[in-house]
Amino acid sequence: MTQEISIQLTTEPRTRPDSEKLGFGKYFTDHMFMMDYTLEQGWHNPRIVPYAPLQMDPASMVFHYGQAVFEGLKAYQTSTGELLLFRPDKNMKRLNRSNERLGIPEVSGDFVIEAIRTLINIDRAWVPTAPGTSLYIRPFIIATEACLGVRESHTYQLIVILSPVGAYYSGGLAPVKINVESSYTRAVQGGIGHAKAAGNYAASIKAQSNAKKGGYSQVLWLDALEKKYIEEVGSMNIFFKIGGKVITPAINGSILEGVTRASVLELLGSWNIPVEERKISIEEIFEANAKGELEEVFGTGTAAVISPVGELYWNDRQVLINNGQIGPYSQKLYDTLTGIQTGRLPDPLKWTMPV
């Protein structure tokens, strides 16, 4: 796809937020990228325009039947002022896997990456520079046809918005308290859990909200069939260090294939640390803890990179992990990943791409 991206610059640039107050996904830059899909023209009319409300017919299918997928990735500023994307090709491949599952037409990943780079260069002044901050990139695709028949839409929009975001942990890497969810289900085999689809998040909100009310920061999801095997945590993948080995649930059709998850597996492999991708039950975690073998637990995701877990609650049982302190693997993975992402460390596997 070699379409030219038309560019219309804003005449009313907005005030950029204080970098102390960024938070996550609350502020958006001056421009956005858009591209349309019709059956006749395929993906067409790629354009960068001022960030502004979308004009959506109330019958647009996305509002009714949830045909919507998204991605999330970040651009980091290096100490020399260069901007780096982290493995955007993997996000694009996943976007097309999500598209395939939701019946949305495939996009050219290379073209969307090019669009993202062009957009970031236009809004470059919005990239925050304080330690731990970054520019969060949110490509998403929505069904726009105005029709109430239940079927795939015949028109779509792909949109990319940019949000300067703060350090995920304002006070450094802080281990979190997690509640193992025993009632609600996030996803099941044959469903859409492996796709980054809007509906998965809708299904997770109630349990997440209950967990927050109970003083937990996240939910640990178990499999839908037996409520026995671990799936993922909140919107992150999860890893356990048990007796020197690192274990993470295998990709099974209901777990999201995280880019950070894949990167952690590759890093651990390169460090010759034994890794297992397999089914792992919540019971096994509690048993490992009872034997004194549960050494570390951490989540992985684009937003937090590495999120150490300090406490796990499952009905009336609980475990304290590594005395509620961040473990050495979690710390090393965090330092290595953020080091590569921000250009502080060498990038032997060519994971970063200059904007």
Give the range of 74-82, 118-126, 185-193, 331-339 binding its own copies by CB under 8 A. 185-193
Does residue number 200 form part of the binding site for its own copies (CB under 8 A)?
Answer: yes
Pick the closest to residue 263 from 171, 161, 345 (CA basis). 345
Q: How far is the CB of 181 from its own copies (least distance, A)?
A: 8
Least distance (Å) from its own copies to the CB of residue 247?
Answer: 24
Considering the complex, state which of residue 301 and residue 327 has its C-beta at the smaller distance from its own copies. Answer: 301
**In angstroms, what is the minimal distance from the CB of 121 to its own copies?**
19
x/- mask, its own copies, residues 231-270, rule CB under 8 A, reads ---xx-----------------------------------
Closer CB to its own copies, residue 202 or residue 345? 202
Segment lying near its own copies (by CB under 8 A), choices 86-94, 121-129, 159-167, 291-299: 159-167
The whole-angstrom separation of Cα 110 and Cα 165 is 25
Q: Does 65 bind its own copies (CB under 8 A)?
A: yes
Instruction: For the CB of residue 31, give the shortest distance to its own copies in the complex, in Å.
Output: 11
Residue 57 binding its own copies, by CB under 8 A: yes
Task: Determine which residue in the list 199, 249, 327, 343 makes contact with its own copies, applying CB under 8 A.
Answer: 199
Closest CA to 142 of 52, 37, 53: 37
Q: DSSP for 81-119?
A: S-EEEE-HHHHHHHHHHHHHHHTPPP--HHHHHHHHHHH
β-partners of residue 237 are: 300
Is residue 68 within 8 Å of residue 138, measured between CB atoms? Answer: no
| Distance in angstroms (rounded) separating the CA atoms of residues 347 and 229 | 35
Residue among 1, 3, 30, 63 that touches its own copies (CB under 8 A):
63
For 17, counting Cβ atoms within 10 Å of its Cβ (0-12 exposed, 13-18 middle, 19+ buried), the class is: middle
- Specify the residue, 102 or 294, whose C-beta has the smaller distance to its own copies: 102
Query: Quick one: three-class SS letters along 137-206?
Result: EEEEEEECCECCCCCCCCEEEEEEEEEEECCCCCCCCCCEEEEECCCCCCCCCCCCCCCCEHHHHHHHHH
* Candidate segments 3-11, 80-88, 199-207, 289-297, binder of its own copies by CB under 8 A: 199-207
306-325: contacts with its own copies (CB under 8 A): none
Q: What's the closest the beta carbon of residue 264 comes to its own copies, in angstroms?
A: 21
Rounded to a whole number of angstroms, the minimum distance from the CB of residue 303 to its own copies is 9
DSSP per residue over 1-38, as a string?
Answer: --PPPEE---SSPPPPPPGGG--SS----SEEEEEEEE
Binding test (CB under 8 A) with its own copies, winner from 35, 62, 92, 268: 62
Q: Is 188 in the site for its own copies (CB under 8 A)?
A: yes
Cβ 349 to its own copies shortest distance, Å: 28
Residue 174 C-beta: closest distance to its own copies, Å: 18
Tokens of 42: 């395929």
| Interface with its own copies (CB under 8 A), residue from 79, 183, 272, 315 | 183
Does residue 5 touch its own copies according to CB under 8 A?
no
**Which H or E run includes 282?**
helix 282-290
b/e map of 277-293 (b: 16 or more CB within 10 Å)?
Answer: eeebebebbbebbeeee
352: Cα within 13 Å, side-chain hemisphere: 23
169 binds its own copies (CB under 8 A): no
Q: DSSP string covering 109-135, please?
A: HHHHHHHHHHHHHHTGGGS--STT-EE
Q: What residue ranges bind its own copies (CB under 8 A)?
A: 23-26, 28, 32, 51, 53-59, 62-68, 70, 101-103, 136, 138, 140, 142, 146-152, 159, 161, 163, 183-192, 197-206, 208-209, 212, 224-225, 227, 234-235
